[in-house]
Amino acid sequence: MRKIGGMFHYEPSTPIENGYFSSISSPNDDLAFTMSGRCGIYYCLQEIARHDTRKVAYVPLYTCETVLAPFEKAGYQLKFYELDQDLHSIFDTSVIDEISVLSLCGYYGFCNYDHDFVKACKEKGVVIFEDVTHSMLSADGIDPLCDYFAGSFRKWMGIDCGGFAVKRNGTFETPLLQVEPTHLKQRKEYYETGDDDIFWEGELRLRQMFDCFAGDDNSEYILRHADFDSICRTRRENYAALLDALTAPLHGVQPVFPELPEATVPSHFCLYAENRDEFQQYLADYQIRSTVYWPVGPLVHPQPESSVQYIYDHIVSVPCDQRFTPSDMQYVAQVLMDYSGN
């Protein structure tokens, strides 16, 4: 029985540059490679804060605590917007005059937010920031009105650093700090040994001491030479194969995104499970490793019966990435249908 999921290992690279970063940024933009997505977000916010006298950010209520930590560290007051169970952002137009930064996210590669609201914010002078970690490979994954965006490739491939930040139509005014050597050593050691304890030791350490750290040269080389065309194609093929293989109605578990738009490159295949703990154990029994993004962080307080609380309580992700094949996805689909039939 093949194992589905788990940590990434190093992604093979090609000798020819992929042109990805020139496709998402122009010669007038500034691109920085950072130690992590969190470092990239903080680098953007530190830059924005230099000229922001209001410092009020409008951020999603469904998010990772490590995304909110840079806002807190940069001195921002947070206002939260809701989401429905389809992961569509629910914006409140009345807050536009109160905020100075709008933070966007295209969850799992699916960009379901109101572009008219983004435009209205932009016209009022609100700075548009997007965390593109989930959506960076989707054709519509970076809003054209963004002033800044940042993300991490570590949910997409094996890489030591993998973060980046972009400032549109300008240059970052402060230099990055040198890459933190202990973190880099721990990441390399993990990829050499596969020891999950080493990985999590480094990850927890990074969460405690993150700053505007640069990435390393080898990570930048990997990002510039990864075969993103193949990665995008394989992920879309796998997602579509899993959907197509779900030939029987499901009970107790449902796909969050039952259709795959042409522009979307999915980071994961997401489901809602009524009994998530039981469902994840069932998957594990069949060697399918699932993930929950994310636990409720200390800065967010969803209403008990809200859509956002439902998302936090029931969402679960299974891999559909380039390590696997449509045949693997058919196996995953069969396990889902068997679980549903129990």
In the chain, where the domains are located: 20-225, 228-341
Instruction: Encode pLDDT of 52-84 as tens digits.
Output: 999 999 999 999 999 999 999 999 999 999 999
Q: What pLDDT does residue 132 have?
A: 98
DSSP 8-state symbol, 175: P
Reading the block at residue 177, the tokens are 């700090």
Q: What pLDDT does residue 342 have?
A: 60
At residue 93, the 3 state secondary structure works out as helix
Residues in the chain: 342
Q: What pLDDT does residue 8 have?
A: 85
For residues 87 and 271, what is the distance between their CA atoms, to the nearest angstrom?
A: 12
Q: What pLDDT does residue 1 have?
A: 65
For residues 244 and 326, what is the distance between their CA atoms, to the nearest angstrom?
A: 10
For residues 103 and 117, what is the distance between their CA atoms, to the nearest angstrom?
A: 12
Q: What pLDDT does residue 185 have?
A: 81
CB 163 within 8 A of CB 37: yes
Global pTM exceeds 0.85:
yes
CB 252 within 8 A of CB 274: yes
In CATH, the architecture of 228-341 is Alpha-Beta Complex (3.90)
CB 225 within 8 A of CB 14: yes
Same fold? 20-225, 228-341 = no
Give one DSSP letter per residue of 261-329, joined into a string: -TT---S-EEEEETTHHHHHHHHHHTTB--B-S-PPPTT----TTSHHHHHHHHEEEE--STTS-HHHH
Q: What pLDDT does residue 203 have?
A: 73
For residues 326 and 342, what is the distance between their CA atoms, to the nearest angstrom?
A: 25
Helix, strand, coil percentages, rounded to 5, for the chain: 40, 20, 40
Give one DSSP letter per residue of 56-86, joined into a string: EEEEESSS-HHHHHHHHHTT-EEEEEEE-TT
Q: What angle do CA 39, 45, 48 make, to 5 degrees?
A: 145
Instruction: Encode pLDDT of 4-57 as tens digits.
Output: 998 888 777 788 899 999 999 999 999 999 999 999 999 999 999 999 999 999
Residue by residue, pLDDT tens for the chain (342 residues) are: 679 998 888 777 788 899 999 999 999 999 999 999 999 999 999 999 999 999 999 999 999 999 999 999 999 999 999 999 999 999 999 999 999 999 999 999 999 999 999 999 999 999 999 999 999 999 999 999 999 999 999 989 989 899 999 999 999 999 999 988 887 788 778 777 777 787 777 777 776 767 999 999 999 999 999 999 999 999 999 999 999 999 988 999 999 999 999 999 999 999 999 999 999 999 999 999 999 999 999 999 999 999 999 999 999 999 999 999 999 999 999 999 999 986
Reading the block at residue 120, the tokens are 């209205």
For residues 318 and 295, what is the distance between their CA atoms, to the nearest angstrom?
A: 16
Determine the longest span between alpha carbons in the chain, in angstroms: 59
User: What's the CATH fold of domain 20-225?
Assistant: Aspartate Aminotransferase; domain 2 (3.40.640)
194-to-7, 10, 112, 121, 198 alpha-carbon distances in Å: 8, 11, 36, 45, 8
